[in-house]
Amino acid sequence: MVGSGRRALVVVGASAGGIGSASHLLGSLGAKFPLPIVVAQHLDPTHPSHLVEVLARRSALPVRLLEPGGPLEPGVVYVVPPGHDADVAGDVVALTPRERPGPTPSIDRLLRSAATAYGEGLIAVILSGAGTDGAEGAAEVSKQGGTVLVEDP
């Protein structure tokens, strides 16, 4: 997949308690990891997030807050900002302010749009936690031929 010239993307979905797992995952990747990575985590939009800084301390890859409209670059980790839903369209991610308050980004929504855009080139990583957000999206990733990895709690 990576060497075949096909587009590929990694999406990581985690609950609020998944910072340790996300840090460990990103810390295990080398500085020359060839794919863009989008991280969505259940975060309370009313509190400042330090997720970018926390992940950057462990990752050899640059970690950035996702900004709408910019292209996804290989070897960069993008964090979905709190209070926003994210949709993948090609090599860009659109951000939509969430209409209802709450700490839950729609990981399902992100995964469904990424599965449509990337098909078998998508790798979805679901980190353990409370709730089921990510389960339906993971099923869509699998249906579209992508790869789903789920953390064993």
Kindly list the catalytic residues.
15, 42, 133
From residue 3, alpha-carbon distances to 34, 37, 38 in Å are 9, 17, 20
- Cβ atoms of 104 and 41 within 8 Å: the answer is no
- β-pairing, 92-97 vs 84-89, is antiparallel
Strand order in the sheet with 63-65: 63-65, 77-79, 37-41, 9-14, 122-126, 147-150
Residue type at 74? Answer: P
Backbone angles phi, psi at 85, to 5 degrees: -100, 150
How far, CA to CA in Å, does 8 sit from each of 19, 104, 142, 147?
Answer: 24, 26, 15, 11
